[in-house]
Structure formats: C-alpha cells, structure tokens
Structure 1
Amino acid sequence: MGPMWRERRVPGETEIFVAWQEGTGDGTLLAIHGGPDWDHSYLREPLDRLDCRLLLPDLRGCGRSGRVPEYHPDGVVEDLVRVLDSFEVERADVLGHSYGGMVAQRFAITHPERVRSLIVSGSSVLPVPPDAFDGWAERDEILAGQEDPWQREDLTPEQCVRADAFAAVEANVRRGAQVPGYLKRLGQVRFGAEWVRQLQTGGLVTPRLPDAARRIADLDIPVLLLHGRQDMTFPVSLVEATLELIPRASAVVLDDAGHMLHVDEPDGYLRAVREFLDGAAFEGGLELRSPRPV
C-alpha cells in the first residue's frame, strides 16, 4: 500500500492548501516548492518515502491556495508559520527546492525558532553571478533551442507558465529515462500566473536576503546543500563556496542530475535527505555521488 496523502486548508488572511502525510517516525519535514507559479505536487516523489511527517503547502497564489492582491516573500513566510501552527509543530526540518530554496532560507533567518535544520535543494545561498555558466556549450545549445512561449500572443499567462515548464524539460532533467515520468508529473501540476503577473509589472521582491550565508551560519543549525552537477538554473560551482561560509553545512552533489535532481536521481536524493534528517550526514564536507539504478 502506498503513502496516504491527506489535505488541509489552513485559514487566515490567505487560505493555504497543504498536502500532508503522517509519518511513522519523529519529526516533521516542511517542503517548499519552486516556480513560484507551480504547486507542491512535483515534489511529492520521492519525499513520500520518508518516515517523518510531511507538509507540502501550495504557496499563496499557487495551486489550490488563495490569491491576494500583491505577493511578497514575507507574506509567504507568515503563511508557513501558520501552517506549522495549524499542525502544532514547534520546530520543523525545512526543505526548499529552486525558488522555494530561497524562501526556506528566508524562513530560517526570520523565524529561527521554528527551524531545526535546512535543506537547500537545487537552489543556492549565494547570488548567481551573471557569468556563472560561461563556457558551458551544451547548456547554450539547449537553451537556444528552447521554445519561448512568452513570445506567443495566443496564450494566456497561465498557459505560458505551463508551456514554459514543458519547454524546459531538456534543460531541467538530465536522464532521458526519467523524462516520461516527469512529463506525467508536469501534467498534474496546477500552474498559475499570479506571481509572474507581478513580475511583469516590476513589483516582485526576491526572497533572497542580503548576506544570507553569514546569517544562516549564525543560526548554528545543520544545513544540507543538495545539488545536481548538471543544474542549468543554479550553478553547482556555488556549492563549495557556500560550504566555506557555513561551518555546519554539508553537501551532496548528484553527478548525473540536473535542476530536477529529485527526478533524475530519486534514490540518491532520498538517501541524502534521509541520512541528513537521521543525523548521519557529516558536517563541513562535500560528497559526490554517482548515479544508481532507479
């Protein structure tokens, strides 16, 4: 029998939809999706194989959560506090993927009393330099051949967000064998366009806080940097630089994985998260992992 997902709507200024799963072990993992105009569902697997309680909210304006007139990462952080309160969780392990990785850092820095540990997945603590991918010819070729749905006048913003996700599959997923399952996963995502509309008006604030690495180091909590070596969105080169700035950080780089590293290497991804949450992850080092059969 597979995992049993339940649903809860957390009331407040913005109603937040949460998919959740009761665990057999101690601890709660709060997983924050990226996009941000996606929903949580693309992160369910392989996290649903963990033993802890899982909380996967749709961020405000996303999926089945409520809409608001304006979007700011501080509002998202307060939503996450309400989610933990609703489940009577004092401190959670927090995982954020991509854009959600920056939200997770902001949450840890602004509400350290609610965060036991932090997992930054397919994201970065340090800002991405403009020349971070210079010389990567394969990436240049893939992106040059990627259709840009935003140039089409026959699509709504919501349709553009969806089309963009499908157009970016080759850039985001490294292993061809994983593509059919990923396409099925994308087909189930409830894409929106609330955040991109605000981005187009120039009013979107980044969730990345200034001097995030030092501020996270000052929290003195375990941090895992979980990354795909072939990530074409957040460069793997930032991982080692971040380790030097955060003494309690460790890192796992999955060699044959891209931005959607949990799709490319679900077993290696799951093992890294599980070992980290169980306290088996070593601190202050970098581990490279080769692909395993899925």
Structure 2
Amino acid sequence: MRLHVKEFAGPPDSTLLVVHGGPDWDHSYLVEPLDRLAGERRLLFPDLRGCGRSPAAEPLTPDAMVADLVELIGSSPVDVLGFSYGGLIAQRLAVQAPGLVRRLIVASSSVLPVPPDAFAGWAEYERRAKAHPSVWDTSPLDGPALTRAEAFAAAPLNVWNQELLTAYLERLERVRFTASYLEPYRSGRFPSARYPDPVERLRGLPLFLLHARQDMIFPATLAGRTPCTGAVILEEAGHMAHIDQPDAWLAAVSGFLAG
C-alpha cells in the first residue's frame, strides 16, 4: 500500500504526523496553519487509504488505515495530531503501536463517545442545523460528488465565525473528495474506530486535547471529563477551529509539542 503523502522538510526526530478526518476527504484542508511549523518540524500529511489520492484498496477499515500509518512511520517514534475522525484513527494508532507515538494531539475530536443529546437545547446549533440540513439522504448525487456536497452543506455548522465562511469554502474547493467509505458506512459494514475503553488504553501516553467551545460535532464538554496531560478549549471557534482561530490553534499545538 502506497499512501499519497505531502511532506514538509524538518528534523527527522521532530516529525509530526497529521491524520485528517472525513473519511473520504484528503489532507489539504489541514495544511494551513500547520505549514508554519515547516523547518522547525518535519510534517507528514498522508491521505488515508481510500481518501484523496491514496488507493482504495481492500480492506477499507480503521485497522487497515492504522496499518498503513505504521508502515509510513517506520521505526522512529513520531508526534501525532489526529483531527475529527482522524482523532479516532490517531488514538487507534497509539493503542496498536504505542512505541511509535511519542505524543498525541486529539483535535476537534474526542476520546469519550459523544452522547446522543450532546447538543440538546443549544439554540444556535438548532438554528444552523435547520438552516443547513444534511444532504446525505436527500441529494440525488452519489459518489465523491455527494461527499463534496455534504462538506459544503455542513460548512456553516463547522465554521463558527461566518465571516470566514467564504475562505473556508475556497479551501474546500481544493479538497479531493472520494466515496470509498460511503457504501460500507450506509450498509453498517464500516467498523467503528473507537475502542470501548479508550481512557484506560491511552493511560500513560502524553495526550493533549484541542477543542473549540462551539464545536457542533464533538462537544467541548467532553474535554473536561477526559484524563489527559493538557487541554485547550478555544473560544469563538467551531469544529474547524484552525479556520476560526488559526493563530491560537497553532500556538496550542506548538506549546504542547515544545513541552
């Protein structure tokens, strides 16, 4: 399996592996502002199996994604940042290959499962969700076009500061969407990436949680319930916190890695 990887040069012993979300997205929406660390750190942005420019080779499972990342890392430990769904894959990587993950950043994601009533009573969430409904079950589109359409439909929920929405949509235009996981997910054949006892499995690992107060996918309240080395909750930021608050988001990442 040969993953497509965007690499920024830096010291090999200061490598940061960035695991994108989706799935069925590529890595590109996460490059900025992390690319400011280039030179200071070696940065690896892979497209996960079946995502972006990486082949959709069977099996299309979380464990196969992790196996690909283990092969990519090699024998020298790296720091890992997992974003959104990538945060679940990054946790799985840390559990299955603990000797390869030096420090783990879980960004716009969670260690604990999201309760079904996580956003109950939040008027702004309800307003945005009603104004911008999901297109998964209503659009006549299929394949990568459907994945793309859903990303654009969900943009107003994912970016808190609506003045930044146009810039975010321009970033989405550059994403290479796929649909490798669409049918397995809809049919119920796609395994969950989340372990049933994640806190215990991650115990002892330097773990940093980077949340946004107005995240409408992974609620920030979960950060306070999760044992971790450190946590930052950014104000006035949504799920795409690196769009809403790029300077503060990058400072939080850099501060943890420098500690």
Q: Assess same fold via TM > 0.5.
A: yes
Q: Secondary structure at the match of 2:202?
A: helix
Match among 72, 76, 94 for residue 80 of structure 2: 94
Pick one of 249, 255, 269 that aligns with 2:235. Answer: 255
Larger deviation, residues 128-137 vs 139-148: 139-148
CA distance change for structure 1 residues 260 and 153 in 2, over 3 Å: closer, same or farther? closer
Tell me which residue corresponds to 2:120.
Answer: 134
**Pair 1:78-2:64 in alignment:** no
* Residue of structure 1 in register with 2:6 after alignment: 19
Q: Return the alpha-carbon distance in structure 1 between the equivalents of residues 154 and 17 of structure 2.
A: 26
- Write the deviation string for residues 93-124 of structure 1: whole angstroms up to 9, x where unpaired: 00000000000000001100000000000000
Q: Is this contact kept in 2: 1:21–1:53, CA < 8 A?
A: yes
Runs of 4+ in structure 1 over 3 Å off: 151-154
Calculate the aligned-residue CA RMSD, in Å.
1.4
Secondary structure, aligned partner of 2:215: coil
Alignment partners' CA distance in 2, 1:214 and 1:25:
30
CA contact (8 A) 2:11 2:41 kept: yes
Partner SS state of residue 237, structure 2: coil
Question: 1:25: how far off?
Answer: 8.2
Within 5 A, what are the aligned runs for 1:195-210? 195-210=181-196
Structure 1 residues without counterparts, runs of 5 or longer: 1-13, 280-294
Identity %: 49
- Find out whether 1:31 has 2:18 as its counterpart: yes
| Partner of residue 149, structure 2 | 163
In the alignment, which residue of structure 1 is the partner of 2:248? 268
User: What residue ranges of structure 2 are gaps of 5+ in the alignment?
Assistant: none
Give the Cα–Cα distance (whole angstroms) in 1 for the partners of residues 167 and 120 of structure 2: 31
Structure-2-length-normalised TM-score: 0.95
Pair 90,25 (structure 1): closer, same or farther in 2 beyond 3 Å: closer
Equivalent position of 1:283 in the other structure? none
Asked if structure 2 preserves the Cα contact closer than 8 Å seen for 1:70 and 1:198, the reply is no
Which amino acid in structure 2 is aligned with residue 65 of structure 1? S
Is the counterpart of residue 189 in structure 1 residue 175 in structure 2?
yes
Larger Rg: 1
Partner of 2:209: 225
> Could you tell me how far 1:26 is from its partner in structure 2?
4.6
Aligned partner of residue 115 in structure 2, secondary structure: coil
Give the whole-Å Cα distance in 2 for the aligned partners of 1:183 and 1:136. Answer: 25
Q: Superposition pairs for residues 32-71 of structure 1, below 5 Å?
A: 32-50=19-37, 51-71=40-60
In structure 1, what is the Cα distance between the partners aligned to 2:253 and 2:12? 15
For residues 112 and 136 of structure 2, what CA distance do their matches in structure 1 show? 28
- Residue 152 (structure 1) shift: 4.1
The letter of the residue matching 1:162 is: R
- Rounded Cα–Cα distance in structure 2 between residues aligned with 1:117 and 1:198: 31
Amino acid at match of 2:46: P
Tell me which amino acid in the other structure corresponds to 1:139: Y
**How far apart in 2 are the matches of 1:83 and 1:181?**
32
Deviations 1:39-98 (A, max 9, x none): 00000010001120000100000000011233111100010011112xxx5100000000
Q: Which has the higher contact order (CA 8 A, sep 6+)?
A: 2
The one-letter code matched in structure 1 to 2:55 is G
